[in-house]
């Protein structure tokens, strides 16, 4: 079917990008488990390699199953195109790679997934890139952090794990004025709860590992391009606006217009970095996305009930869910994610670090894992796991202090989730500090 705004989200999450298999009529998208694709003749091969014709060459670059997923996510996000890759972290590198070169920097929110803080504060330095971390509620600080060498502004829509909502409209005004793209990690919200492009984002990145797949089976990532940024307005983005030496002098923006970033991502990014999504992973994620809106509705409904219950529990010091009227981000969440504030939040236990450890060990329905956005409820003590590489100031800024536990609410019965939390909190309360 042809995609477009005339269809609603629930229809597009099932149909966008998919058509009956032209060879067999298969209704479900087949897993094209093939490394290479036969050229019709030598001219066809040459046209494909010159990017004069779109088609399949080799699965490091493009694969028909992955292509359906790319089109589906791009449609749900309201973007011009998308490139899938092997993980969420790969997607972040794929998003930055065409924009940065040695000596250039990004402005990043202090409230990010712990692994992203490490990737940006440590690993990208090996490429000669750097990140300046700023509190994104302080708009003046974001503005003044941007300098001549800044090439992107990066934040999460709903920041993992602290229940923080970024004012995407305000941040996009700042990045627009500075002439640099805004990149939004939309993993925790998904396009069902938040569509960052509608708030001014240039690029949207995803860890498809989480809610989009929704069943904890495969890792994957995606970079969606809004198609709205004018890469040629300055000389800051030569990979897109100037002849590309790694593609025999082709100028991506001039040749591909609003699909410049997407084509560069495939023709240079995947070709040379090789962080490719495999067709099996694309299949599992396509299966997951078919029920995305239904699952997100239940995640939100359960998170509302459970967080409100937790807020009243004697052993709980505070709950950081933006869907609670007590949250400082409650009003903002109605504007940025009108369908709900997600399924992820943290609780702080009065008993501190030791109580957190006992609590996590006592849960029965919840699994103690380094993952989120699964159909099943998950829990993690961030300070001793995902955020342990961070110093205590970084942990605090990310909402991952020692007395804090991160909870990813699943789609089980809310009564069962609450009963499990109750018994574990009561066991944790008996721990002496």
Ligand X SMILES: *Cc1c(COP(=O)(O)O)cnc(C)c1O
Instruction: Write down the least CB distance from residue 386 to ligand X, Å.
Output: 9
If one asks whether residue 119 binds ligand X (CB under 6 A), the answer comes out as no
If one asks whether residue 13 binds ligand X (CB under 6 A), the answer comes out as no
Stretch that binds ligand X, among 30-38, 185-193, 351-359, 397-405 (CB under 6 A): 185-193
DSSP summary character for residue 188? T
DSSP H helices in 184-229 = 190-193
DSSP summary character for residue 323? T
DSSP summary character for residue 257? G
If one asks whether residue 345 binds ligand X (CB under 6 A), the answer comes out as no
Q: Which of 107, 205 has the CB closer to ligand X?
A: 205
Q: Which of 89, 104 has the CB closer to ligand X?
A: 89
If one asks whether residue 213 binds ligand X (CB under 6 A), the answer comes out as no
- Integer-rounded Cα radius of gyration of the chain: 22
Binding mask 142-161 for ligand X (x = CB under 6 A): --------------x---x-
Stretch that binds ligand X, among 3-11, 81-89, 252-260, 311-319 (CB under 6 A): 81-89
If one asks whether residue 115 binds ligand X (CB under 6 A), the answer comes out as yes
139 contact partners, CB below 8 Å, separation of at least 6 = 170, 171, 174
Residue of the chain from 113, 133, 229, 247 that contacts ligand X (CB under 6 A): 113
The dihedrals phi and psi of 164, each to the nearest 5 degrees, come to -95, 135
Q: Which of 89, 199 has the CB closer to ligand X?
A: 89
Q: For residues 42 and 292, give the distance between their C-alpha atoms in angstroms, rounded to a whole number.
A: 43
Using DSSP, state whether 204 is helix, strand or coil: strand
Instruction: Write down the least CB distance from residue 44 to ligand X, Å.
Output: 35
DSSP summary character for residue 117? H
Instruction: Write down the least CB distance from residue 160 to ligand X, Å.
Output: 4
CA distances 374 to 38, 210, 410, 411, 412, Å, are 38, 6, 6, 9, 11
If one asks whether residue 195 binds ligand X (CB under 6 A), the answer comes out as no
If one asks whether residue 374 binds ligand X (CB under 6 A), the answer comes out as no
If one asks whether residue 382 binds ligand X (CB under 6 A), the answer comes out as no
Site size toward ligand X (CB under 6 A) is 17
Under 8 Å between Cβ of 103 and 149: yes
Q: Which single residue brings its beta carbon nearest to ligand X? A: 88
Q: For CA atoms 410, 210, 175, 386, give the dihedral sign.
A: positive
If one asks whether residue 209 binds ligand X (CB under 6 A), the answer comes out as yes
Bridge-based pairing state of the strands 203-207 and 221-225: antiparallel
Under 8 Å between Cβ of 156 and 399: no
User: What are the residues binding ligand X (CB under 6 A)?
Assistant: 87-89, 113, 115-116, 156, 160, 185, 187-188, 207, 209-210, 219, 221, 372
């Amino acid at each position: 079917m042809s995609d477009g705004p005339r269809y609603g989200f629930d229809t597009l999450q099932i149909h966008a990008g998919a058509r009956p298999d032209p060879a067999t009529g298969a209704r479900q998208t087949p897993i094209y488990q093939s490394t290479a694709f036969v050229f019709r003749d030598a001219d066809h091969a040459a046209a494909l390699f010159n990017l004069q014709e779109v088609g399949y060459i080799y699965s490091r670059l493009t694969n028909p199953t992955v292509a359906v997923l790319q089109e589906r996510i791009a449609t749900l996000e309201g973007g011009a195109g998308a490139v899938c890759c092997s993980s969420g972290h790969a997607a972040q590198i794929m998003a930055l790679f065409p924009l940065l070169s040695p000596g250039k920097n990004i402005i990043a929110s202090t409230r990010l997934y712990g692994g992203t803080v490490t990737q940006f504060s440590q690993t990208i330095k090996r490429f000669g890139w750097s990140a300046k971390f700023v509190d994104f509620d302080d708009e003046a600080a974001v503005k003044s952090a941007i300098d001549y060498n800044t090439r992107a502004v990066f934040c999460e829509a709903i920041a993992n794990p602290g229940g923080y909502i970024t004012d995407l409209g305000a941040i996009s005004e700042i990045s627009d004025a500075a002439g640099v793209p805004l990149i939004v990690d939309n993993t925790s919200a998904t396009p069902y709860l938040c569509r960052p492009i509608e708030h001014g984002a240039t690029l949207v990145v995803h860890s498809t590992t989480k809610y989009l797949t929704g069943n904890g089976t495969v890792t994957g990532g995606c970079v969606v391009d809004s198609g709205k940024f004018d890469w040629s307005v300055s000389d800051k983005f030569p990979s897109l606006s100037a002849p590309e030496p790694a593609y025999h002098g082709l100028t991506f923006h001039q040749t591909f217009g609003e699909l410049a970033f997407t084509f560069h991502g495939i023709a240079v990014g995947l070709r040379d970095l090789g962080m490719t999504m495999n067709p099996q992973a694309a299949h599992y994620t396509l299966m997951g996305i078919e029920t995305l809106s239904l699952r997100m509705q239940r995640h939100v409904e359960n998170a509302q009930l459970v967080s409100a219950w937790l807020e009243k529990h004697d052993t709980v010091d505070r709950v950081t869910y933006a869907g609670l009227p007590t949250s400082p981000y409650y009003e903002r969440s109605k504007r940025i994610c009108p369908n709900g504030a997600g399924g992820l939040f943290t609780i702080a236990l009065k008993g501190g670090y030791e109580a957190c450890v006992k609590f996590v060990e006592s849960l029965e329905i919840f699994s103690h894992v380094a993952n989120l956005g699964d159909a099943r409820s998950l829990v993690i003590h961030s300070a001793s796991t995902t955020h342990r590489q961070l110093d205590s100031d970084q942990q605090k800024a990310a909402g991952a202090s020692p007395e804090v536990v991160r909870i990813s609410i699943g789609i089980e019965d809310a009564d069962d989730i609450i009963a499990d939390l109750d018994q574990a909190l009561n066991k944790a309360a008996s721990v002496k500090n």
